[in-house]
Amino acid sequence: MKQIPVHLQASTFCNPCHITHIEPALDDYNQQMEAAKNVLVYLKDQSKESRLLSRKEAPIKVLCDDKDETMLRLAFLAQEAGFNGLIDVEIKSEKVRKGGTWQKAAYTGVGIPTHIESRRK
């Protein structure tokens, strides 16, 4: 979710360029997405379970239009930074009205990335 590399910003690619540039990047992204789905998440109200975990890292913040996507983006960014857990995750929604009767919800997610290790082996 960092900046898109310059060679991947084009809207169309020839077949050899697609094979050499796009497919490896897409495979890496799909592997990261699968790993992000395995990130352990402790919500803010689960502080008893996570009280002994380290909170040294800076919190990760994301803005999104969907609650589930907000959680997935937080997990993706934590996994991308090399962590396997998120603690003190808090997701807030806010109604956004842009005139008239049309409205939508905007979600803000905040979580602290951390390493979680199992003591049982």
Is pLDDT at 5 greater than 80 in this prediction? no
Tokens of 30: 């799909």
> What's the pLDDT score for residue 102?
81
Is pLDDT at 78 greater than 70 in this prediction? yes
Per the CB < 8 A criterion, the answer to whether 109 and 70 are in contact is yes
| Complete edge-to-edge strand list for the sheet that includes strand 60-64 | 40-43, 85-97, 103-114, 60-64
DSSP per-residue string spanning 102-113: -EEEEEEEEEEE
Give the pLDDT band of residue 63 (cuts 50, 70, 90): very high
Is pLDDT at 13 greater than 70 in this prediction? yes
Using one digit for the tens of pLDDT, what is the confidence trace for 18-39?
888 888 888 888 898 898 889 9
pTM: 0.81
Is pLDDT at 121 greater than 90 in this prediction? no
CATH architecture of the domain 11-114 equals 2-Layer Sandwich (3.30)
Domain ranges of the chain: 11-114
Give the pLDDT band of residue 96 (cuts 50, 70, 90): confident
Nearest to 22 by CA among 39, 4, 36, 37: 4
Is pLDDT at 71 greater than 60 in this prediction? yes
CA 112, CA 12: separation in Å to the nearest integer? 37
Q: Is 93 exposed, middle or buried (0-12, 13-18, 19+ CB in 10 A)?
A: exposed
Nearest to 86 by CA among 107, 118, 59, 68: 59
Is pLDDT at 2 greater than 70 in this prediction? no
Nearest to 72 by CA among 96, 91, 58: 91
> What's the pLDDT score for residue 67?
92
